[in-house]
Structure 1
Amino acid sequence: MSSSSAPLSVSDRTSPFAAAFPGLRRPGPDGRPFVHADAPGGAQVTDSVITAMADYLRRSNANPSRGFTTSVETAELIASVRDRCAGLVGADPGGVVFGPSSTMLIWHFARAFAETLDAGDNIVCTQLDHEANVSPWLAVARSRGAEVRFVPLDPDTFELDYAALPGLVDRRTRLVAFTRSSNLIGSIVRVEPLVEAARSVSALTFSDGVAAAAHRPLDQLAHGIDVSVCSAYKFFGPHLALLTAGPDLLDRFAPDRIRPAAKSGPRRWEMGTLALESLAGLGAAVDYLTATGYPAIAAQERELTVRTLDGLRRLRHVRLHGLDSAEGREPIFAVTVERRSTHEVASLLADRGVFVAAGDSYATECAKALGLPPSEGAVRFGLVHYHGDDDVDRILEALDDLRPGG
């Protein structure tokens, strides 16, 4: 089975961006390259990222707090990457905090934020969020006698019920946490009603941009978002994350820190020596995204999304849990296959060199709202701009072969 309407040449069927990613060239046992369709779980990196990390270790590996040449180079690298990251996500460069993962950065901020909570206060989350932007708020609320409320997900429209906000956000709301897009079903979240609701009661907004940053600009300041996180390994960089906020806002809280640590600024929030080689790789990833441009990325991904949805409609034994339209979504797809467990499907696809995820992908509330069994969740596959038509068709062909009796 093929979802294409006419034969295409190899060059037409391969993304024009794929050549920058060496991991895409690794062949499977059948001689064909693997289809890395678990991009929402971690994207491939560019040659430039690998080179930047290796070059830093070869040339400038040093603690940044000294006065000698390699130390000065390292300090300059850190400052430069802060600036470049701020430009990418539309944030203040004076409030860019680095950490090993978005999950850890959210916990770190949540622990500091907890000191401002009183019994009877509340935090509002959403049912589209990854657990990294839910569990920390549940924990700090529980410790302070506060409450966590959820903006519900409509299981029919696959969108948040924004009309519920007036009944959830009140004068005791201290923070509204939300994702920019679902890491499980791909739905894009409308920022404006959430920010407006938070502002109406002087609550902070905390945004998880992890699933969105590979696909579109986050534009934090333009949206009026107070705090945001994203992870470099989801946007073609190394395993590193950043939290961005206004410097004045960061200085309002007292994070865990050692006594000699910086008294203000991002370093006040960064524990210990940074992963410096990863910072070099992060800078290269940001440079790649900036040079490629989100408009070009969006154009490629729209074609992939349309092709995928067209193909899924033909597979009667496959159910899509998400928007059946290229509008309002990222190219992240959650499906279930008739008479097959999700883990069985993922294993069978892996045997064909097609790599996907199975389970709830840590989108616990989303899976619950959609009625997906907790132990099963869905088969999730996700595409980015380095994928091509051939990748889409191989995923669809593999799913087609799992039809009952096939």
Structure 2
Amino acid sequence: MTVGTTVADVYDLEGLRAQFPALSGGLAFFDGPGGSQTPSVVAERISEVMLAGLSNRDRGTPTGRRADDIVGLAREAMGDLLGADAGTVVFGRSMTALTYDLARTLARQWTPGEEVVVTSLDHDANVRPWVQAARASGCAVRWAHFDPASGELPPQAVTEAITGRTRVVALTAASNVLGTRPELAQVIGAAREVGALVVIDAVHLAPHAPVDLAGWDADVVLCSPYKFFGPHLGVLAGRAPLLESLRPDKLLPAPDRVPERFELGTLPYELLAGTLAAVELIAGLDPGGAGTRRQRLLASYRELEDHEQTLLRRLEAGLDTIDGLVRYSRAAHRTPTSYFALAHRASAEVSAVCARAGINAPAGHFYALEASRRLGLGDTGAVRAGMAPYTTEAEVDRLLEAVAQAA
């Protein structure tokens, strides 16, 4: 950002909001960590593809070429978003399904006595597939725990769990309940020293900040487009040599090349077109952006982070004035996500008060079950309020008023 400008000068919030029909109904959406609202351009692109005529991918018919082109363009877009080679971008039903497939495939190479490392900060989709694959293979699971007082996951908590027997380290790039963004470099370096793979869950980071498979030197990253304006599906990207070395289960006639060998059945072409539209929308959030799409994405994320972090500071300054409120999200470096509870009122009741005020701020563990338990919240969890690119200061103030009323 140049000297003398502000976020408002370059980040067209009202212009962005106008692209989301759901925002016209008056609801304030603080449930973005569970899935964003959908812009018109994404829905229109999906509709256009479904109505224009499609067939299975080939290069011999117009409809086959259209389908094939959509797949290629979507891979390129997600490669740009994830800092990965487009040729390693795999599409699947969900991030959870892709992680299970990956864990089962890798586990065939494991032997009893080897180990996997998981953390209590992670969403269960980056915990249970590894725990269950380890159990089936006779491998041990080593846990790295975050500090419940600060919400931080110190790098040494993970590196101390890594040994010469470690095969995989599964780590989140951002906690979906606390927003905590762990330091990745030291962990990845320690895994590299013993030849372990690093699998990064970037589902909660991708809507808010850049993901960089190559820059992080990670082996695999996963995300979900419906968290950043797109349709419901999952995406995996990995290092090409790793994916080339893996032999997942597949149908005999299915292509054996990467990435197709990891994709089961016919791809949802219309959803891939919607994913492409979502990536393009993010790349255009900085109207002054220039250069490659990856460069424009990075510029847009800078403006987006400024906007969302300003809102987070406003929200948490207000939350901290409410008597009896306990805020669990306290890490120094995190996404615009706040996790809190009232000392003498059930979190589900707080969420209900917000709902009656036209505010979506749900309560629960949100599948970060280990994190909820470590925080002393059991399987009940707390209220989660997540800012999105289209969130406004007025909506933050509405949320604060509702929580104060609940208190």
Partner letter of residue 18 of structure 2? A
Distance 2:159 2:17 in 1: 46
- Kindly indicate whether residue 333 of structure 2 is the aligned counterpart of residue 340 of structure 1: no
Residue in 1 aligned with 2:303?
296
Residue in 1 aligned with 2:371?
366
Residue in structure 2 matching 1:315, options 319, 322, 329: 322
- Kindly indicate whether residue 108 of structure 2 is the aligned counterpart of residue 101 of structure 1: no
Supply the RMSD in Å over aligned alpha carbons: 1.6
SS at match of 1:205: strand
Partner letter of residue 174 of structure 1? R
Query: For 1:366-385, what per-residue CA distance to the aligned partner results, in whole angstroms no more than 9, with x for missing partners?
Result: 112211132x2111111111
Retained in 1: the 8 A contact 2:154–2:183?
Answer: no
Retained in 2: the 8 A contact 1:15–1:387?
Answer: no
Mapping of residues 51-130 of structure 1, within 5 Å: 51-65=44-58, 67-130=60-123
Distance 2:222 2:330 in 1: 25
Distance 1:388 1:364 in 2: 30
- Kindly indicate whether residue 258 of structure 2 is the aligned counterpart of residue 253 of structure 1: no
Residue in structure 2 matching 1:276, options 261, 269, 272: 269
SS at match of 1:159: coil
Residue in 2 aligned with 1:400?
404
Residue in 2 aligned with 1:216?
209
Retained in 1: the 8 A contact 2:172–2:200?
Answer: yes
Deviation at 1:309, TM superposition (A): 1.2
Specify every segment of 5 or more residues in structure 1 that has no aligned partner in the other structure, as ranges.
1-11, 27-32
Moved more, 86-95 or 357-366: 357-366
Deviation at 1:338, TM superposition (A): 2.5
Distance 2:225 2:40 in 1: 15
Deviation at 1:397, TM superposition (A): 0.5
Distance 1:144 1:111 in 2: 10
Retained in 1: the 8 A contact 2:37–2:229?
Answer: yes
Distance 2:362 2:306 in 1: 25
Distance 1:38 1:224 in 2: 31
**Normalising to structure 1: TM-score of the pair?**
0.91
Partner letter of residue 182 of structure 1? S
Residue in 1 aligned with 2:390?
386
Query: For 1:28-82, what per-residue CA distance to the aligned partner results, in whole angstroms no more than 9, with x for missing partners?
Result: xxxxx01111000000111110111011111142211362101101101111110
Retained in 2: the 8 A contact 1:82–1:93?
Answer: yes
Retained in 1: the 8 A contact 2:351–2:360?
Answer: yes
Residue in structure 2 matching 1:230, options 223, 230, 236: 223
Residue in 2 aligned with 1:306?
313
SS at match of 1:65: coil
- Kindly indicate whether residue 360 of structure 2 is the aligned counterpart of residue 355 of structure 1: yes
TM-aligned CA distance change 1:66 to 1:166, over 3 Å: closer
Retained in 2: the 8 A contact 1:232–1:239?
Answer: yes
Moved more, 107-116 or 161-170: 161-170
SS at match of 1:71: helix
Retained in 2: the 8 A contact 1:15–1:388?
Answer: no
Partner letter of residue 355 of structure 2? A
Distance 2:230 2:350 in 1: 29
Distance 1:336 1:270 in 2: 41
Distance 1:60 1:20 in 2: 26
Retained in 1: the 8 A contact 2:95–2:224?
Answer: yes
SS at match of 1:334: strand
Distance 2:71 2:301 in 1: 24
